[in-house]
Amino acid sequence: MDVNTAAVTASVNSGQGYVQLEILSALLNMPSMSNKLYQKIHEKVEQFTHNTAWESMSSAAEEEAKLAIDNGDVNENGVPMITVIADGAWSKRSYRTNYNALSGVGCIVGAKLKKSFFWALETNIVQYA
């Protein structure tokens, strides 16, 4: 991984963005990449992260299904019956009365392997799944 990709990845994973990376670069007396380059690398990092997450969740679901089949936990049509744990959150803002935040998150975890095989982030503007 080159230094620019590592810097963008670290920035994203720590909840920061371009401006914070630019400030850090200045504090380290290190040249900063352009916003255009940051955005280009950010898109690649986001796509890689997204693909890796979906592959991991798909693999976890397949493992849970295989365990269910091996244990005979299938319905009359042979479909695996998988026990899951699901949770979600939709926060309330601390100001104004009854003011909901604009986003929420949900996750489904297989009960046997304890691996996540679905998550979703929903906002009032855009939905990710």
**Domain limits of the chain?**
34-128
Q: What share of the chain is helix, strand, coil (3-state, %, to 5)?
A: 45, 25, 30
Mean pLDDT, the chain, whole residue set:
88
At which residue do the structure tokens 């670290």 appear? Answer: 10
| Contacts (Cβ under 8 Å, ≥6 apart) of 112 | 64, 67, 83
Distance CA 93, CA 101 (A): 6
Share of the chain above pLDDT 90, in %: 67
Q: Select the more confidently predicted residue: 61 or 104.
A: 61
0.75 exceeded by pTM: no
The tens digit of pLDDT for each residue in 30-71 reads 999 999 999 999 999 999 998 999 999 999 999 999 999 999
Backbone angles phi, psi at 32, to 5 degrees: -100, 150
